[in-house]
Amino acid sequence: MAKDSDNLLPVHAAPAESPLDAPFPSKRMLVNLGPSHPAMHGTVRAVVELDGETIHGMKLDIGFLHRGFEKTCENVTWTQVFPYTDRLNYVSSIMNNVGYAMAVEKLCDLEIPERARYLRVITSELHRICDHLTLVSAMGLELGAMTVLIYGMEARDLIWDRLTELCGARLTSNYARVGGVSRDMPDGWAEKVLRTLDRSAEMADEIDRLLTRNRIVIDRTRGTGVISRADAIDYGFTGPCLRASGEPYDVRKASPYLVYDRLDFEIPVGTNGDNFDRYLMRMEEMKQSDRIVRQCFEQMQPGAIASDDARFVLPPKPEVYGTIEGAMAHFKIIMEGIQVPPGEAYACVEAANGELGFYAVSDGGGRPYKLGVRAPGWNMLMALPQIMEGHMLADLIPTFDTVNMIGGEVEQ
Amino acid sequence: MSQAALQKLKERFPDAVTQTYTGKGGDDVALVKKEAIAEVCRFLKEDPDLLFDMAPYITAADYMGSEPRFDLVYQMYSTRKNHRIRLRVGVPESDPVVASVTPVWKGANWYERYCWDMYGIRFEGHPDPRRLYMYEEFVGHPLRKDYSLRGRQPLMPERTVDEPFRGPGPTGG
């Protein structure tokens, strides 16, 4: 008996002529992902060439959400551009407002009051938390962890409730103005924000406990969607995606704007440049943003929230209704737009996804002559075909999540 | 924000760099001749004192009525040296062709496609010179100042696309 079984060959060593051994005929296949696909975050179309489940080639087709942002901005006054910038990255609109306002202020050579700077930082960092919560919970959802989305959305909406009390809208905040911000904090707002931050930090911890050591999440994200530090720089990555690859570039530290030089916070830096590191960057940055907001509330003093330079900022309402000069100044700014001195300037801020830059050109009139947007998501999306080459189709989904392409800003 | 970088660039390319100035808010700008842009960019990326390693933000502006009509803008940043400069390249309407810098930085790819799509500036040596946002049948370049704000274009019939991997037979083989 023992001798007979020795002669039996294991199945996998059967002669190649066996029909069981015939290779599986695989045919290259083109798959269209999007433009309307729940995991394609808006309206990106990816054409993927598959061999089995492996991606052999990928081309991205964007523009389905192109709304002519630049053309529109060239035809409205400088102030009217603010609502359009809200719709670039609609999850963290205040950072877009601030970036654009800083570009115009650079052209106008305008200093803004201290309190306005703090308010811009506070609202930007609150929105950064919102943006990162969205990313983390959407990633959880798409990897099958629906609960995470519910926690994330609850925390995000709490913060949006506070921002609604400040600027009247959840998403389209339209908060910054050339020369300052549009509204001061309502009474008791700081305490409410601190309570909200406590609650949202609890939720973020909950998400952390659900995801960070979760076997499935680790298997799906660690080692997938890898980009090296050199490639990330070469592609122009910025923000958490660049830092996950090990390059500690952050506009807030590299060229501090507003009051970031007075605040104590750290920049998390990853090592592997994979989806898991990009996720971890977001989790840590939320904690740092929390710290920044708390410090701002401690440091800020009462004062003006907008510059009093009558060339660029609307006069106070009592003057508009009470004096002819005030009424005229108001009328001219509203009807003709602020007269920005001719020239060109580039200003950038660290938005939730990286360096958000505005290149503004003025011909001296009331409207932008040219307004270019360096959207951070652009570079990350551009690199996707290279990142995904030779990897599984299923890995495309978490990679698409962690590069956090926002259709509004990429497709303008 | 780097006078030293501008100085070095000017010394290395005395002919190609026609002017340098410090613009609004301290932005350092160099005006570069169109013919030399690829060479200048490679130098900026590789010179050990400059090391503009990050892909630049490239955009264009249309100064209709002046010559040269278009202005290509390269907003550069170095992660090694933490400095920024801006290059401006005049592009005449009669010959809107510029050497591509995508071989220098991979990240320039879509920005150059954007400039082609929106302004009609062509990039020689670009690996994928399609439009970025608009469809191929689109006529004109929307961000040119002479393109109407309310410009409408006719609807295009759907394109038929051949399945490149389909074998013989009705269902493929």
Q: pLDDT tens, A97-144?
A: 999 999 999 988 888 999 999 999 999 999 999 999 988 988 888 888
Instruction: Report the pLDDT value the prediction gives residue B57, as an integer from 0 to 100.
Output: 92
CA distance A398 to A164: 31
Question: Nearest residue of B to residue A358 by CA position?
Answer: B57
In whole angstroms, give the CA distance from residue A29 to residue A350. Answer: 40
For A374, name the nearest residue in chain B, comparing CA atoms only.
B57
Q: Over 70: is that where the pLDDT of A39 sits? A: yes
Q: Give the model confidence (pLDDT) of A149-194 as tens digits.
A: 999 999 999 999 999 998 888 888 889 888 888 888 898 999 999 9
pLDDT tens track for A200-224: 999 889 999 888 888 888 888 888 8
CATH for A175: 1.10.645.10
Token couple for A283: 């989790």
Contact B106 A231 (CB under 8 A): yes
Query: CA Rg, chain A, in Å?
Result: 25
The percent of residues in chain A predicted with pLDDT above 90, rounded, is: 28
User: Which residue of chain B has the CA closest to A231?
Assistant: B106
Whether residue B146 contacts residue B157, with contact meaning beta carbons closer than 8 Å, is answered with no
pLDDT number for residue B151: 77
Domain count, chain A: 2
On whether any CB of chain A is under 8 Å from the CB of B51, the answer is no
From B59, B133, B142, residue closest to A359, measured CB to CB: B59
**Domain residue limits, chain B:** 3-96
Whether the pLDDT of residue B138 is over 80: the answer is: yes
Reduced 3-state DSSP string for chain B: CCHHHHHHHHHHCCCCEEEEEECHHHCEEEEECHHHHHHHHHHHHHCCCCCCCEEEEEEEEECCCCCCCEEEEEEEEECCCCEEEEEEEEECCCCCEEECCCCCCHHHHHHHHHHHHHHCCEEECCCCCCCCCCCCCCCCCCCCCCCCCCCCCCCCCCCCCCCCCCCCCCCCC
Q: What is the pLDDT of residue A194?
A: 92
A357:B57 CB<8 A: yes
> Across-strand partners of A176?
A181
The DSSP call for residue A224 is: S
Q: Which of A106, A236, A345 sits opposite B54 (nearest CB)?
A: A236
Quote the CA–CA distance of A378 and A392 in Å, as a whole number. 23
Q: Selecting from 3.40.50.10490, 1.20.1250.20, 3.30.460.80, 3.40.50.300, what CATH number does the domain B3-96 have?
A: 3.30.460.80
**Residues A33 and A69 reside in one and the same domain:** no
Residues A56 and A67 in one domain: no
pTM summary value: 0.87
Whether residue A274 is predicted with pLDDT greater than 50 in this model: the reply is: yes
B55: contact with A, CB 8 A cutoff: yes
B105/A369 touch (CB, cutoff 8 Å), yes or no: no
User: Nearest-CA residue of chain B relative to A411?
Assistant: B133
Size of interface A-B (CB pairs under 8 A): 113
Task: Give me the percent of chain B exceeding a pLDDT of 70.
Answer: 92
Paired tokens of A52: 């089995």
Q: For all residues of chain B together, what is the average pLDDT?
A: 85
* Residues A96 and A42 placed together within one structural domain of the fold: no
Instruction: Name the closest residue on chain B to residue A103, using Cα atoms.
Output: B25
User: What pLDDT is stored for residue A191 in this prediction?
Assistant: 92
| Residues found in chain A | 412
Q: Rounded CA gap, B104 and B100, in Å?
A: 8
Q: Any idea what the Cα angle at residue B138 is, between residues B132 and B139, rounded to 5°? A: 120
Mean pLDDT confidence for B121-147: 87
Q: Are residues A6 and A72 in the same domain?
A: no
User: Taking CB atoms and an 8 Å limit, are A383 and B106 in contact across chains?
Assistant: yes
Name the minimum distance, in Å, from the CA of A410 to any CA of chain B: 10
Average pLDDT over residues A59-84: 88
> Is A30's CB within 8 Å of B164's CB?
yes
**A49 and A100 belong to one structural domain:** no
Burial class (CB within 10 angstroms; exposed 0-12, middle 13-18, buried 19+) of A124: buried
* Spatial CA neighbour of A308 closest among A190, A177, A220: A177
| Residue A264 to chain B, least CA–CA distance (Å) | 21
Q: Enumerate the residues of chain B whose CB falls inside 8 A of the CB of residue A110.
A: none
Interchain CB distance below 8 Å, B133 and A66? yes
Under an 8 A CB cutoff, do B79 and A233 touch?
yes
Q: Which two tokens stand for residue A70?
A: 């630049």
**Is residue A174 located within the same domain as residue A25?**
no
pLDDT of B168 > 60? The answer is no
Instruction: Strand A370-374: give its sheet, edge to edge.
Output: A343-351, A354-362, A370-374
In this model, does residue B173 exceed pLDDT 60?
A: no
Are A155 and A16 in the same domain?
A: no
| C-beta of residue A60 within 8 angstroms of C-beta of residue A385 | yes
Confidence band, pLDDT 50/70/90 cuts, at residue A1: very low
Residue A88 three-state SS: coil
d(CA A353, CA A170): 20
Minimal C-alpha gap between B99 and chain A (Å)? 18
Question: Which residues in B lie closer than 8 A to residue A66 (C-beta atoms)?
Answer: 133-134
Predicted confidence band at B171 (pLDDT cuts at 50, 70, 90)? Answer: low
Mean of per-residue pLDDT scores for chain A:
86
pLDDT, mean of residues A225-230 = 89
Looking at the structure, tell me whether residues A52 and A105 fall in a common domain: no
Residues A275, A331, single domain; the answer is yes
Quick one: pLDDT at residue A142?
A: 85
- Are the Cβ atoms of B107 and A247 closer than 8 angstroms? no
Reported confidence tier of residue B128, pLDDT bands at 50, 70, 90: confident
B132 contacts in chain A (CB < 8 Å): 62-63
Bridge-based pairing state of the strands B83-91 and B28-32: parallel
> Tens of pLDDT along B44-101?
888 888 888 888 999 999 988 888 889 999 998 988 888 888 999 989 988 889 999 9
3-state SS class at A35: coil
Pair (A22, A141) in one structural domain: no
Give the gap in angstroms from C-alpha A382 to the nearest C-alpha of chain B: 7
The string of pLDDT tens digits covering residues A286-341 is 999 999 999 999 998 888 888 888 888 888 888 889 899 889 888 988 888 888 88
Same domain, A27 and A158: no
Q: How far lies A316's CA from each of A130, A182, A334, in Å?
A: 32, 12, 14
Q: Do B105 and A236 lie within an 8 Å CB cutoff?
A: yes
Q: Are residues A126 and A53 in the same domain?
A: no
**Which of the two residues, A363 and A43, has the higher pLDDT score?**
A363
* Residue-range definition of the domain harbouring residue A344: 61-410
Which of A60, A84, A102 corresponds to the end of one domain?
Answer: A60
Of A392, A408, A304, which is closest to residue A353 (Cα–Cα)? A408
C-alpha distance from B122 to closest chain A C-alpha (Å): 19
